[in-house]
Chain A
Amino acid sequence: MNAGRPSGLRLPWWWIAGATLLLLVTVIAGAMIGPASISPWGIISSTLSRIPFLNVESSLDTRADDIVWQIRMPRVVLGVLVGSMLSVAGSAYQGVFRNPLADPYLLGAGAGAGLGATLAIAYGPDASGWFIDPLPLAAFIGAIVGVALAYVLGYTVRSGRTAVTLILAGVAVAAFLTALQTFLQQRESDTLREVYGWILGSLTTAGWSEVRLVLPYVVGCSVVLVAFRRLLDVMSVGDSEASTLGLHPSRIRLLLIGFATLGTAAVVAVSGLIGFVGIIVPHTVRLMTSASYRVIVPLSLLIGGSFLVLADIVARTVQSPTEIPIGVVTALVGAPFFAVVLRRSKGIVS
């Protein structure tokens, strides 16, 4: 009598395989495309030649090899890390807030990072000889402080610590920090261009040092968020039912917001405020595969990386040799997509 019984398999292997393949293809494309064109085999052979004991010889000359490994690869890898982190954090935010329109900047991480970066750019000392660049550090701290403020404000609301009070607290904190940031930005108008460029987001400054800086955060936070994916499905019935099913919704929410924010703060510190990725990637996954977070969270991680590398290819090639800020590209693709999602998600917003 087991006819029609679902297998319990939520995430078929071919979805993972497909998303991984897409990621590999976009990484190769990202390393190939640029003013000096390099063949796909050149990228692959050069990559394999760096793996010990394989004895594959790179088909690239030294100059091409340098272009790939000193300029393009760090940028592509950083794009993967930033895109993956923002997407997986977005999916977690959407899950804990039971709101498909939530994104990683919802609780003030974006506004806080923006204020931190503006302070560093406008008032920071000349840090050219410093061991640590104060700009990413200020953005990182700003993002964490923004979310912490929202959480504390939401926590102290007397009528209860619900997802809605937390979102409202986040809206208040984000508005306040953005207003402060805009005020400083207008006052210190000589740094306006630099601040504005940072806010739009960019992978231009990417090097291996940035990759090394964010890699542990992205890996650590992603592992936690992916591990909690089943509980996000339980959370989708609301706090009161989830607690009678044996969970502590507010503890889980705090934990997931904490890790999503930590990862977001780390990538924002090196890439600026790249928008829309955290909303549209989980949404694409949701629309194309399943509404279960057991599917959405891991696939967002894989597809988010591909999406941002593709957006970066567009950003640096369309107007070459000048670049369009990557945040403009993700928003240009994101805004129309968002409109479609809004039309389709009627009734899903709870």
Chain B
Amino acid sequence: MTDVSVSSVGVSYGRTEILSQVSLSVGDGRWMGIIGPNGAGKSTLLRAIVGSVPYRGSITLGDIEIGSEDAKSMGRRIAYVPQRPVYPPGMSVFDFVLLGRTPHLGLLAAEREEDIAIVWDSLQSLSISGFAERDVASLSGGETQRVSLARVLAQQAPVVVLDEATASLDVAAQHEVLELIAQIQHEQGVTIVSAIHDLTAAAQFCDELTLLDRGQVVAMGNPEGVLDEAILASVFEPTIRVIEIEGSRVVVSLRSQGSSHGK
């Protein structure tokens, strides 16, 4: 059982409070989307969950408090893809995905045959085994996202935290990557927490949503409840519209007539 529970979490950088009193919980095997405007604190919340920033309050995976275990044990429990992952020039795709095995290896140990097999399986399940030897820094946006997801798979952690996995991708590539994440969620039974900008995509893929604004939770629950026109209008802009197409919520922003855009 690896559910994620965040209770009364606050994060400050210096005197600036980025998150305050944030509480949410994600059930085992569920996909929680964190939505909200730029600067709402989405990335900071994710970084707190993976233990990269100090926080007040409590964050638990199952019954284990983040930070109560060493980095290596945490690496086996939680996998993370930051907003802008580093793809070291000259490193092959295979070697990059192999990094995901780090928490499973002794500090100075070399990878075992078993690790190589896991990496290869991860590459194959994301259909990128064809360019295992390519330079990871030379790939396109969609390809690098697949490579990052392959590393997540190789890490075999029950909780996966993704920060804007589909930012800077075109519509088709974005959809493809989100489908892959859903595939990982269902096949591996992992719990996913992801920041996501595209509200329409969030409605289609996430089981639950948390709407953050200025470091606080504004709404939480299933996408139908959170993607409410009045709630979104209060956080984003008054001209936002939620329409329903084939049972799915589509969020659009209309250009306000005769006036300049403003929040």
Interface residues of A (CB under 8 A from B): 1-2, 4-8, 10, 98, 227-228, 230-231, 233-234, 236-238, 240-241, 243-248, 286, 290-292, 347-348, 350
How far, in angstroms, from A246 to B100 measured CA to CA in the complex? 9
Is the beta-carbon distance between A244 and B91 smaller than 8 angstroms? no
Q: In the complex the two chains form, what is the Cα distance from A347 to B76 in whole Å?
A: 32
Name 21 interchain pairs, CB-CB below 8 A, sorted by A. Answer: A5-B116, A5-B120, A7-B116, A8-B116, A231-B108, A234-B102, A236-B88, A236-B91, A237-B99, A238-B86, A241-B80, A243-B51, A243-B52, A245-B100, A246-B72, A246-B75, A246-B103, A247-B71, A291-B89, A291-B91, A292-B95
Question: Is B155 in contact with chain A by the CB < 8 A criterion?
Answer: yes
Contact (Cβ within 8 A) B52 A240: yes
Known contacts A6-B116, A6-B132, A244-B79; 16 further A-B pairs (Cβ under 8 A): A6-B94, A7-B116, A8-B116, A231-B107, A236-B88, A237-B88, A241-B85, A244-B74, A245-B102, A246-B72, A246-B75, A247-B102, A290-B90, A291-B89, A291-B91, A292-B90
Give the size category of B's interface with A: 35 or more
A236-B86, A347-B89 in contact; A5/B129 too (CB < 8 A)? yes
**B92 nearest CB neighbor, chain A only:** A6
In the complex, residue of chain A having the shortest beta-carbon distance to the beta carbon of B90 = A291
Do the beta carbons of A348 and B90 come within 8 Å of each other? yes
Shortest CB-to-CB span from A166 to chain B, Å, is 18
The verdict on B224 contacting chain A, using a C-beta distance below 8 Å, is no
**B65 to chain A: closest CB distance in Å?**
17
Asked if residues B108 and A244 are in contact (CB atoms below 8 Å), the reply is no
Partner of B89, one of A6, A248, A348: A348
Which of these, A245, A247, A286, contacts B155 with CB under 8 Å? A245
Q: B172 within 8 Å of A by Cβ?
A: no
Binding site for A on B (CB under 8 A): 47, 50-52, 71-76, 78-80, 82, 85-86, 88-92, 94-95, 98-100, 102-103, 107-108, 110-111, 113, 116, 120, 124, 129-130, 132-133, 137, 155
Interface residue from A1, A227, A248 paired with B71 (Cβ < 8 Å): A248
Q: How far is the CB of B15 from chain A (nearest CB, A)?
A: 13
**Residues of A with C-beta under 8 A to B155:** 245
Kindly list chain A residues whose C-beta atoms are within 8 Å of the C-beta of B72.
246-247
Our pick among B73, B88, B103, B130 for the contact of A245 (Cβ within 8 Å) is B103
Distance from A241 Cβ to chain B, minimum over Cβ atoms (Å): 6
Contact partner of B124 (CB less than 8 A), chosen from A1, A241, A247, is: A1
Given contacts A5-B120, A348-B89, contact A241 B82 (CB under 8 A): yes
CB-based contact B74/A246 at 8 Å: yes
Shortest 9 CB-CB contacts between residues of A and residues of B: A291-B90, A246-B75, A246-B103, A246-B72, A236-B88, A245-B102, A244-B80, A8-B116, A237-B86
CB contacts (< 8 Å) of A348 on chain B: these are 89-90
Name the residue on A nearest B148 (C-beta).
A241
The interface residues of chain A lying within 8 Å CB-to-CB of B95 are: 10, 233, 292
Distance in angstroms from B110 CB to nearest chain A CB is: 7
Q: Closest chain B residue to A1 by CB distance?
A: B124
CB contacts (< 8 Å) of A237 on chain B: these are 85-86, 88, 99
Cα of A8 to Cα of B113 in the assembled complex, Å: 8
A-side interface mostly: loop
Are B132 and A5 touching (Cβ within 8 A)? Answer: yes
When distances are taken between beta carbons in the complex, the residues of chain A under 8 Å from B92 are: 6
Tell me the nearest residue of chain A to B104, going by C-beta.
A246
Check if B76 sits within 8 Å of A240, measured CB to CB: no
* Minimum C-beta distance from A5 to chain B (A): 5
Q: Are A228 and B102 in contact (CB under 8 A)?
A: no
Q: How far is the CB of B242 from chain A (nearest CB, A)?
A: 35
CB <8 Å contact, B90 and A244: no
Of B52, B75, B130, the contact of A4 (CB 8 Å cutoff): B130
Q: Please measure, in the bound complex, the distance between the C-alpha atom of A244 and the C-alpha atom of B155, giving whole angstroms.
A: 10
Residue of A nearest to B72 (CB): A246
List A contacts of B73 (CB < 8 A): 246
Question: Is the beta-carbon distance between A243 and B71 smaller than 8 angstroms?
Answer: yes
> B28 to chain A: closest CB distance in Å?
21
Bound: A240/B155 CA distance, A:
16
Partner of B133, one of A6, A98, A228: A6
Chain B residues with Cβ below 8 Å from A241 are 80, 82, 85-86
Bound Cα distance A6, B119 (Å): 10
| Bound-complex Cα distance A5 to B133 (A) | 9
Q: Give the complex CA separation of A6 and B117 in angstroms.
A: 10
Residues of chain B with a CB closer than 8 A to A245's CB: 75, 99-100, 102-103, 155
Q: Shortest beta-carbon distance, A91 to chain B, in Å?
A: 14
CB distance from A285 to the nearest CB of B (A): 12
Known A-B contacts A292-B91, A347-B89; the reply to A246 vs B76 at CB < 8 A is yes
CB nearest to B103 among chain A residues: A246
Q: Are B89 and A244 in contact (CB under 8 A)?
A: no
Q: How far is the CA of A347 from the CA of B98 in the complex (A)?
A: 23
- Give, as a whole number of angstroms, the nearest-CB distance from B95 to chain A: 6
CB-based contact A246/B89 at 8 Å: no
Residues of A within 8 A of B99 (CB): 233-234, 237, 245
Q: Complex: how many Å from CA A8 to CA B133?
A: 11
Complex formed: what's the CA distance from A180 to B100 in Å?
A: 47
